[in-house]
Structure 1
């Protein structure tokens, strides 16, 4: 859990005037993603057939939408006020019936269109979420070690959720409103080209203003999502059971609240800015569009009065004026909707850029096109070899010494070897290179005689089991946690693995046995119980190589002995590589390697190394005095 945010001034400060954190953040540029518009359109490619149906429904609805206004002119000029003088009820009844039928049919088609639109939009959003999740799963371990979990969660939830409205409604809104606008303009031209010019004269100015507003909103949207990421990260860090425990034991609850409050203030300010950006613009557009009918009345009066005595007939009747203002009112809503969609698209560009930024990350550890299955020959399966391996972490400074420097050793199938040394000596890195959690910077790591970079990762990992210092358990039953290694394992297989890990009797002593819920990260269990369940889980997949990364270093002496007995049973018939802190756990190793400064300093059995009176003997003496 990172506590740095709690002591930095930026996290706990309130948003105020001057050079605030928010203003500095707003000056940062959002990531540029090439072909963003095209890539968004590609998301809809699998649903082309349904999009065609939506387009057809939209076109029919739009065509039906202009029928009632056009019929309105005939209602006034042929039904209510015909040249004969008296209302023509027959014509009026047919016209009114046609208008009602158009309304009913348009509404029915609208329901079907909404259904198709919702399904396509939510499918696209679901595909995007799965695609992002799957891609993140493929990233190497180093990516997660340098990225906050909360930030990753925010990209997956907040960013994808932020574009939900665009993905769900944009297609139908753009097509439907565009067709409605075109249809309304055509209808207005048919009614009166003079009045149409008056109604549309300021459209170019409005479109230009809308683009400027959209650029501002897009920038704010990007910063809003970054702030949400930080809030999610703080929540994930501080409200996990480990984070809460840490805050309580150091009395830092208030400091954590202030840290969260500072980011919350930033979020509030950004949300207000996002809400208010464009409000003046839309208010002016609304006033302009609402005032057009009044202007139409004035211009119509001027045209009609000017035509009297001049012989020029503008073709404007009472029915024309009523129909025109009716059509013009139908232009207002789709036009405003198109502008809002355009703003939403501009705003969402920042969110899509953040999503595609993650999708464009390239995993550094991937299978080669001709990757093959690890050797299954008994004489090779389970052997491990390092040949002149040098390793430097990707984010390490170039002037830092490598974590491993030309390390070479070999482990035969079934051997038990151990690596010991001071913290930071590089021994844990050795354990990470065996299952290819990282790739060597130079040199070769081999499994079964084959370079691990030439093997399929999934099949390599099936042969290697890793038990780490921290046993990670899901908030689920013991059986579910065990079956994570082998989903189709039988109850008998679970019991066999648990017995081998020396945990079966303990599980049976629980009221719910294997159905016992372990709590988040197994918090309801003791450290020794969690570790033995983790060992049983690894044994369930029956690996050829067992990597024990300081598996007992966090346990007390009693639990260490219990877990050690479980590990003794787990090693049987397997190649075992133990990364050890406590030397008492590796006395029986076939060979012990002493690591220091990224290099192997000594090797031999426990007795041989003690007799040599070198680095190992010094470590042993230090632990003997401390114990």
Structure 2
């Protein structure tokens, strides 16, 4: 990952302030007022010691009370401003984080299957959570700390110059070593922050893998091995974090003592100036108050540097993710298909998953007339599922075209394509909610009666009513509280509710026992009535009634015909049947 923060990054960063520019302006105004009060306090204190307390006369008590009132007012004003800009700034930062999180989540959703297959869910979650949190701190505290420093530090410098030039120059001649150390530390902080983010991403990726596959982990008794792997990654993450903290402590804690060192220098040389009569006590007291107050702007600068490095590392990762353009995009003039059965056509289609890989499909051509059923059979990994993926436009064909109803799928609007094509896969995705919500997924406006009617069509209604909570039964994460057949029928009920014109049935019954398969098969047959259907299956019972069966091999389609025609040809299909691969 590139670590340089460019102008384009800065423009993107500042753009997130735009919706909150009024709030941001108020926030900065409060900081200006607070900083002004900060600078005035030592001046009033110096006047009090130098002018009021040096000689007592009739007006001394009045001037003393006035100075006390001014000091109290400065304290109250500064406190009120600090409270207000602290609250407003945090709220602004939280809202900006919300905006960025929504933008990034939507960006994830727009990405293709290829994008998600190349990245672990853990790495995507790290950017969505940890990186955005570090950016929020920079969004909020970064400008505040930087502005406060730019007001307080130069302001103190010019006031000190007006008090005593030689002492001021002596104090600020000691700044170059701090500046040099800050620049050196900045590069070290950047490297440590990026290493820590990478280690966190790797650790989160393993956690996501183990938790999503916890049944497999337990089934093979691999808990200890996974714990050992996690411990190694956890230790590596902790080590990189400790390296960052070591640098932080070494630089920040050393820099925190810098104002005390300045105070010592001022006391020493101030005493010399007092001795030769070039400085009086009230002026020295005022000077010491300002030198002592330099610790706050220095602390602000150090805090800004820390937030900048942590936030920059997160923002660069966020920008890197946002710069990935979706591989599957909607046409600038998208076409909407009319309702009704539609044909599916492959015209000389070839496909590979990436440029370096071999073709999965080579020059495949076929047509499935509207309302008919086509089945695809062949060895595992030969490209049957890829056919379904190209129809649904999870991927785009490398060469050739895929058409639905005579229109290239790349010309269709996403909304029309998703409404037209429905998919039942071997691995059913149910969400951690109720059965009702899972059936309604994809048709959120469906009534309860429509949901129940869809469940009845999928042979699921009676089973649901037998449950204590009925349709409000929670299915658990990924539907773990339901059997494989029940989960499959929930997915079929979804399609009954959505009523697509084209069905893609990708190994929909291959993982079920024969009893469950029979129930699901009945549901599928009802669902397929009057619709164009594409079947991918390994079981003869699933494909033998298809209008046309296509046999895929590494060379593309090697046979096609009805079940009876292919058996009479005694070719590849008949061989699959004899070998019980169908």
TM-score range, shorter chain: over 0.9
Q: Which of 435, 438, 445 pairs up with 1:481?
A: 438
Q: Distance in 2 between matches of 1:211 and 1:418?
A: 66
SS in 2 for 1:466: strand
SS in 2 for 1:623: coil
- Contact kept? 1:224, 1:271, Cα under 8 Å: yes
Report deviation, 1:423: 0.3
Structure 1 equivalent of residue 227 of structure 2: 257
SS in 2 for 1:239: helix
Report deviation, 1:227: 1.1
Structure 1 equivalent of residue 300 of structure 2: 337
- Contact kept? 2:134, 2:310, Cα under 8 Å: no
- Contact kept? 1:214, 1:347, Cα under 8 Å: no
Q: Distance in 2 between matches of 1:168 and 1:52?
A: 12
1:393 aligns with 2:371: no
Cα deviation 1:296-325 (Å, max 9, x = unaligned): 122122223334xxxxxx4x3222111111
Q: Distance in 2 between matches of 1:150 and 1:121?
A: 24
1:280 aligns with 2:250: yes
Structure 1 equivalent of residue 454 of structure 2: 497
TM-score for the superposition, normalised by structure 2 = 0.96
Report deviation, 1:212: 1.3
Cα deviation 1:1-45 (Å, max 9, x = unaligned): xxxxxxxxxxxxxxxxxxxxxxxxxxxx64556433332222212
Gaps of 5+ in 1: 1-28, 308-313
Q: Distance in 1 between matches of 2:350 and 2:324?
A: 25
Q: Distance in 2 between matches of 1:190 and 1:297?
A: 18
1:74 aligns with 2:47: yes
Q: Which of 293, 312, 318 pairs up with 1:355?
A: 318
Cα deviation 1:34-92 (Å, max 9, x = unaligned): 4333322222122222221112111111111122210111111222112x589922211
TM-score for the superposition, normalised by structure 1 = 0.90
Q: Distance in 2 between matches of 1:135 and 1:300?
A: 62
- Contact kept? 2:96, 2:136, Cα under 8 Å: no
Structure 1 equivalent of residue 201 of structure 2: 229
Q: Which of 154, 162, 176 pairs up with 2:126?
A: 154
CA RMSD of aligned residues (A): 1.7
In the alignment of these two chains, the number of paired residues is 581
Q: Which of 106, 114, 127 pairs up with 1:134?
A: 106
Q: Distance in 1 between matches of 2:355 and 2:189?
A: 34
Q: Distance in 2 between matches of 1:112 and 1:225?
A: 33
Cα deviation 1:474-499 (Å, max 9, x = unaligned): 11100111111111110111011111
- Contact kept? 2:163, 2:283, Cα under 8 Å: yes
Q: Which of 506, 509, 521 pairs up with 2:463?
A: 506
Q: Which of 192, 197, 203 pairs up with 1:220?
A: 192
Report deviation, 1:396: 4.2
Q: Distance in 1 between matches of 2:5 and 2:101?
A: 18
- The equivalences for 1:214-613 within 5 A come to 214-240=186-212, 243-307=213-277, 314=278, 316-376=279-339, 378=340, 381-394=341-354, 396-397=356-357, 400=358, 402-597=359-554, 599-613=556-570
SS in 1 for 2:534: strand
Q: Segments of 4+ in structure 1 off by > 6 A?
A: none
- The equivalences for 1:189-200 within 5 A come to 189-200=161-172
SS in 1 for 2:533: strand
Q: Distance in 2 between matches of 1:425 and 1:291?
A: 74
Q: Distance in 1 between matches of 2:165 and 2:119?
A: 61
- Contact kept? 1:475, 1:517, Cα under 8 Å: yes
Gaps of 5+ in 2: none
SS in 1 for 2:422: strand
SS in 2 for 1:481: helix
1:62 aligns with 2:35: yes
Structure 1 equivalent of residue 154 of structure 2: 182
Report deviation, 1:284: 3.1
Q: Distance in 2 between matches of 1:181 and 1:583?
A: 82
- Contact kept? 1:218, 1:348, Cα under 8 Å: no
Distance 1:395 1:351, change over 3 A: farther
Q: Distance in 1 between matches of 2:418 and 2:397?
A: 17
